[in-house]
Amino acid sequence: MSRRVNGWTSNINKFSDRTLSFIRARLPEQREQIKWNLPKKAEMGDRFINDERVILRICSTFTENEFLIDPEKNIHDALEECAISDYYYNKEKDWGYDDE
């Protein structure tokens, strides 16, 4: 199973409608479970709360067959990565707006 740098690749894998429906059905419960155990540098921002952004991360990280080896863990990991990205972009990224 190959993970891509920062969870992203430029090739978005097309998942079947059945797998996408499974992911959408599992996201609310997974999100509810993980929100109490997020890493210190993570937050429930736009990426974390938006189903389509989580799905985009999953589809850019795995082929469908790779995803289906352990779908619960892979959904969990994608939610965690989204929350970490939300924290980074909201708290740490230097957007160059300082008037120094």
Distance, in Å, from the CA atom of 71 to the CA atom of 20, rounded to the nearest integer, reads: 11
Residue, of 25 and 60, whose pLDDT is higher = 25
| pLDDT at position 94 | 73
Packed helices 71-87 and 17-34: angle between N→C axes, nearest 10 degrees: 60
| pLDDT at position 5 | 47
| pLDDT at position 13 | 72
For 48, counting Cβ atoms within 10 Å of its Cβ (0-12 exposed, 13-18 middle, 19+ buried), the class is: buried
Tell me: the pLDDT tens digits for 52-91?
999 999 998 899 999 999 999 999 999 999 999 999 988 8
In the DSSP assignment, the letter for residue 89 is I
Distance, in Å, from the CA atom of 86 to the CA atom of 34, rounded to the nearest integer, reads: 15
Six-digit token string for 12? 């978005």
Q: What is the mean pLDDT of residues 15-21?
A: 96
Q: Is the pTM of this model over 0.85?
A: no
